[in-house]
């Protein structure tokens, strides 16, 4: 039986929020979508999905599994009450450093830089000035080289947005990139990073409450960086730190689920996951999955915006 796995990130009342341009699922639409799923699908538990992939059970027809990335506070405040009201189950994937150490992840700084400054050209001009001023830095190319390589439209983004995302996520040397992101965050979002993180992520106690309420909490790495930035030892730390984190929450630590940051894994990473009791790995490849044929460590998902709300 095929399974639909849905991916959510932000779920909030966007129109009435401080950052209406943030890319996410509006809360009213989220409620509509859950009602739609109630009418057209059977929302399954994480344990049922794990069992199906182990050949220990069958999923019902039109099975759908709801997954929520990044451990945001709004998953606790906005999402869980809606799921509970409909007796639905969700799987939530939190990153260690943001949840436990209150670190604002670079991926989230980038989201809010783009949400706070809705004209991409303003951000691009800042990036150009930053790169131009550092042409003597090791490994840094001229602005035009990055522009030629990354200013291209992709699945959900136009050329300008994909350029900004690429530069802020991986195109620049890591140390330079970090300085750029912090400068842009300071200039454009202008909120203390610790305070911002405190309001953005669910706490370990809130995640424990979610487990008590029947939700599933799985791994989403420690640092939330692109795979190419880790050597083999760091990949192992990503997996073992995730496992220790789940243990500290009282979440399952056998047959557990890893949601790969940026959807990225390789053979080394998947072997480590398997050795450490991981059963399923979630990617951001688009598609449905079939427990009878698909690799459980390379599961495709659909983004919420690729599914109807009514
Ligand atoms: Zn993530």
pLDDT at 138 over 90: no
Q: How far is the CA of 225 from the centre of ligand 1 (A)?
A: 9
Q: How far is the CA of 167 from the centre of ligand 1 (A)?
A: 17
Could you tell me the two tokens for 125? 């001009």
- Residue 45 buriedness (CB in 10 A; 0-12 / 13-18 / 19+): middle
List residues bridging with 201 in a β-sheet: 72
Q: How far is the CA of 125 from the centre of ligand 1 (A)?
A: 27
236 in Cβ contact with 258 (< 8 Å): no
Global pTM reads 0.95
Reported as a pLDDT band with limits 50, 70 and 90, residue 140 is: very high
Q: How far is the CA of 133 from the centre of ligand 1 (A)?
A: 31
Query: Which residues are close to ligand 1, an ion, with C-beta < 5 A?
Result: 69-70, 261
Domain extents for the chain? 3-102+203-306, 106-195
Q: How far is the CA of 4 from the centre of ligand 1 (A)?
A: 19
Reported as a pLDDT band with limits 50, 70 and 90, residue 247 is: very high
Residues 3-102+203-306: name the CATH superfamily: Glycoside hydrolase/deacetylase (3.20.20.370)
- Residue 29 buriedness (CB in 10 A; 0-12 / 13-18 / 19+): middle
CA 12 – CA 172 distance, rounded (Å): 31
Span 182-241, pLDDT tens digits: 999 999 999 999 999 999 999 999 999 999 999 999 999 999 999 998 999 999 999 999
CA 302 – CA 197 distance, rounded (Å): 27
- Residue 206 buriedness (CB in 10 A; 0-12 / 13-18 / 19+): middle
pLDDT at site 155: 86
pLDDT at site 55: 96
pLDDT at 1 over 90: no
Q: How far is the CA of 92 from the centre of ligand 1 (A)?
A: 11
Q: How far is the CA of 261 from the centre of ligand 1 (A)?
A: 5
CA 282 – CA 18 distance, rounded (Å): 31
The DSSP code sequence of 238-294 is HHHHHHHHHHHHT---SSEEEE-GGG---HHHHHHHHHTTEEEEEEEEES-B-TTTS
Q: How far is the CA of 69 from the centre of ligand 1 (A)?
A: 5
244 in Cβ contact with 221 (< 8 Å): no
CA nearest neighbour of 76 among 198, 252, 208: 208
């Amino acid at each position: 039986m095929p399974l639909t796995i849905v991916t959510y990130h932000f779920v909030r009342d966007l129109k009435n929020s401080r950052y209406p341009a943030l890319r996410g699922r509006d809360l009213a639409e989220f409620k509509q979508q859950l009602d739609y799923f109630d009418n057209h699908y059977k929302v399954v538990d994480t344990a049922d999905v794990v069992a199906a992939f182990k050949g220990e059970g069958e999923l019902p027809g039109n099975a759908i599994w709801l997954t929520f990335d990044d451990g945001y506070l709004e998953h606790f405040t906005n999402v869980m009450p809606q799921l509970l009201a409909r007796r639905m189950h969700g799987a939530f994937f939190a990153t260690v450093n943001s949840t436990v150490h209150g670190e604002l992840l670079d991926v989230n700084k980038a989201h809010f830089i783009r949400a706070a400054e809705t004209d991409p050209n303003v951000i691009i001009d800042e990036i150009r000035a930053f790169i131009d001023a550092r042409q003597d830095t090791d490994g840094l190319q001229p602005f035009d080289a990055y522009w030629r390589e990354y200013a291209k439209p992709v699945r959900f983004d136009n050329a300008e947005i994909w350029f900004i995302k690429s530069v802020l996520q991986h195109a620049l040397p890591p140390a330079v990139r970090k300085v750029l992101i912090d400068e842009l965050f300071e200039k454009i979002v202008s909120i203390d990073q610790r305070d911002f993180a405190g309001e953005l992520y669910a706490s370990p106690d809130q995640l424990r409450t979610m487990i008590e309420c029947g939700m599933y909490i799985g791994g989403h790495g420690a640092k939330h960086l692109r795979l190419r930035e880790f050597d083999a030892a760091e990949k192992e730390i990503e997996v073992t730190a995730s496992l220790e984190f789940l243990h500290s929450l009282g979440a399952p630590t056998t047959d557990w689920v890893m949601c790969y940051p940026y959807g990225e894994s390789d053979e080394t990473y998947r072997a480590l996951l398997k050795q450490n009791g991981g059963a399923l790995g979630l990617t951001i490849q688009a598609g449905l999955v079939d427990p009878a044929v698909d690799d459980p460590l390379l599961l495709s998902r659909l983004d919420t915006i690729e599914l109807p709300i009514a």
